[in-house]
Amino acid sequence: MAQKISGILVDIDGVLITGNQRIPGALETIDFLTEQEIPFLLLTNTTRKSRVTIWHHLKRLGLNIDERQIITAPMAAVSWLKEKNVAEIYLLLSGSAVKDFRDFKITSANPDYVVIGDLGNDLTFDRLNTAFRLIMRGAKILALQKNRYWHTPEGLTIDAGAVVAALEFASGKRSLVIGKPRKDFFLQAAHKLGLPPDELAVIGDDIESDIKGGQSAGMYTIAVKTGKYREYIAEKTKIQPAAVIDSIADLPQFIISNQGFAE
């Protein structure tokens, strides 16, 4: 490891958990980081769940995480919209994450932005077409994330990126992506930890979102071979992580062997 690493940014789905199952070694690794006083945050592109819902889910699975250690794409979007003084939005979104946008007026009249997340089975033609018409009337597209797919217990599943791409294609307009792999999303995490980006390591299963995003922010990147990671995809991409480990269970030994800031 050529650079000094002082903190860790960890993806959730596919790295720590899959659905309602904890990935082997996740509990021990979180405990290791805590015991060694290594600062860490969990970064997630999950858009159906609010931060508090994610926190409760992780607690139920035995992971000792503080709610403040979780940064979500919806949270980042809320902060960005408030900074821009946006008041009215249309949500193409479902689940408890909708509650994160309670400070905004949700309208299908003349919103400033159409905010897009993963709807899962709540996606209907009517909702998609309503969003399309609003965009054609002048609303801008704010994508919470643009992942192509994610890993569920049933296998790989289409993610919000497909919906965003459909609306971009139909409207001829481009979206602004708030979550991973946006550089600012990672820099926000660095700011929260109070550490320079080049002293942070990103752990993820998604070559495009986690690895590419972390690299754009100047961070050390470690891919895990769990979740959505597929070796044939990793071999085809030009995005190469600094290191690859089998799973989150191997992170403690990797830190000890390569960095030396943990005993």
Where residue 262 falls among pLDDT bands split at 50, 70, 90?
Answer: very low
Same-domain status, 173 and 184: no
Same-domain status, 88 and 138: yes
Classify residue 45 as exposed, middle or buried by CB count within 10 Å of its CB (0-12, 13-18, 19+): buried
Decide: 16 and 58 in contact? Cβ < 8 Å: yes
Q: What whole-number distance in Å separates Cα of residue 81 and Cα of residue 204? A: 27
Q: Is there a domain that residue 63 lies in?
A: no
Q: End-to-end CA distance of the chain: give it in Å, rounded.
A: 16
Q: What whole-number distance in Å separates Cα of residue 97 and Cα of residue 101? A: 8
Same-domain status, 142 and 106: yes
Of 142, 177, 212, which closes a domain?
177
pLDDT tens profile 185-237: 999 999 999 999 999 999 999 998 999 999 999 999 999 999 887 777 777 77
Find residue 244's DSSP bridge partners: 223
Decide: 204 and 224 in contact? Cβ < 8 Å: yes
SS3 93: coil
Residues 47-76 have a mean pLDDT of: 95
Number of domains comprising the chain: 2
Look up residue 81 and give its two tokens. 């919209």
235: containing domain: 7-45+180-258
Q: What whole-number distance in Å separates Cα of residue 80 and Cα of residue 31? A: 32
Q: Is there a domain that residue 73 lies in?
A: no
Q: What whole-number distance in Å separates Cα of residue 168 and Cα of residue 149? A: 17
User: Has this prediction a pTM greater than 0.85?
Assistant: yes
Of 120, 153, 177, which closes a domain?
177
Q: Is the pLDDT of residue 178 over 90?
A: yes
What CATH number corresponds to the domain at position 237?
Answer: 3.40.50.1000
SS3 77: helix
Q: Is there a domain that residue 64 lies in?
A: no
- CB-CB neighbours of 61 under 10 Å: 17
Q: Is there a domain that residue 228 lies in?
A: yes
Return the pLDDT at 3.
65
Q: What whole-number distance in Å separates Cα of residue 25 and Cα of residue 137? A: 50
Same-domain status, 35 and 98: no
Residues 110-114 have a mean pLDDT of: 96
Return the pLDDT at 236.
75
